[in-house]
Amino acid sequence: MSLNLEADVSLQPFNTFGVATRARYLAYAHDDAEVGEALQAAKRLQLPLLVIGGGSNLLLTGDVEALVLRMASRGLRIVSSQGDAVLVEAEAGEPWHPFVQWTLEQGLQGLENLSLIPGTVGAAPMQNVGAYGVEIKDVFAGLTALDRHTGELHEFTLDECEFAYRDSRFKREAGRWLILRVRFALARSGALRLDYGPLRQRLAEQGVSEPTASDVSRAICSIRSEKLPDPAVLGNAGSFFKNPLVSAELAEHLRTEHADLVAYPQADGQVKLAAGWLIEKAGWKGFRDGDAGVHRQQALVLVNYGGATGAQLLVLARRIQADIQARFAVSLEIEPNIL
């Protein structure tokens, strides 16, 4: 057996909130064989197996009585190339942003709008990660996952993943599927997605009139660095709440009371509201209770100023949810996984 089990391990370095909790056991899986060994070890120890990537979408509210498995598999490859269409594959343990940069170095486009997102490749489909007008589902070409119930490998198509806004089959069936590698359909040329948020403005400020995919990536890195705190400096998990979907009637009612309401009509008739706008309008931006707080520059981000527990951060989140419900009749859904 090559899998190394460490007992009673601090998880503080393994979650971007920097919450100080401990795991009963910790192991690293560098390949499929070690994933299988971890499943057997958890069964032998009569403990659940908790799989984590970069810990960037996680709030730990206490010690973890489980075998925590960090995916540490590595590997980037071009699977096929036909004209402008290129299929690439990455192992689950690959850090996401370096993977995006690798695709750009290969002259490929499609992932540039997802630059500087923390986490790993294997975790990205779980949440159907998205930013600046692009989601994983838009460039997804397939993935290989292990069925933890049967021990068999399964190849997933786009439809089988059942992607939705910050959601997927893998998130809804938590504990069953362990993602091993993911494939993406990229291109050597084509139209870039430039119309979301302040992207065009930032490119203009940088003097870029005919942007390449690398230009888009640099602009988005610049925007994200200004808006979102670096987890290495200030503990956070990025956007803590999903942008809520509401009826057109409720959105129109809110607009009569708030002319500056930030809202985006959807194809199905619903309206997506900006959760950050709601939280800031309610006065929570910059709020701090001990070491748990709301970021001063981005109301959508909860932060740990150093010594906050996961339970304290969750209490703050619940207070914000209750206030937004009372003020606007809008339910905010928490985006990170709560353990």
Classified as helix, coil or strand, 100 is helix
The secondary structure of residue 74, as a DSSP letter, is -
Which region, left, alpha or beta, applies to residue 8 given φ > 0 means left and ψ of -120 to 50 means alpha? left
How many angstroms separate the CA atoms of 163 and 282, rounded?
31
| Domain range summary for the chain, segments of one domain joined by + | 6-71, 76-227, 235-338
Architecture label for domain 6-71? 2-Layer Sandwich (3.30)
Tens digit of pLDDT per residue, the chain (339 long)? 588 999 999 999 999 999 999 999 999 999 999 999 999 999 999 999 999 988 888 999 999 999 999 999 999 999 999 999 999 999 999 999 999 999 999 999 999 999 999 899 999 999 999 999 899 999 999 999 999 999 999 999 999 999 998 899 999 998 899 999 999 999 999 999 998 878 999 999 999 999 999 999 999 999 988 888 888 899 999 899 999 999 999 999 999 999 999 999 998 999 999 999 999 999 999 999 999 999 999 999 999 999 999 999 999 999 999 999 999 999 999 999 899
Q: pTM, whole model, 2 decimals?
A: 0.87
Positions annotated as catalytic residues are 166, 239, 335
Question: CATH assignment of 76-227?
Answer: 3.30.465.10
Question: CATH assignment of 235-338?
Answer: 3.90.78.10
How many angstroms separate the CA atoms of 122 and 137, rounded?
14
Q: Identify the CA nearest to 51 among candidates 159, 183, 171.
A: 171
What pLDDT score does 123 carry? 93
Paired strand residues for 82: 85
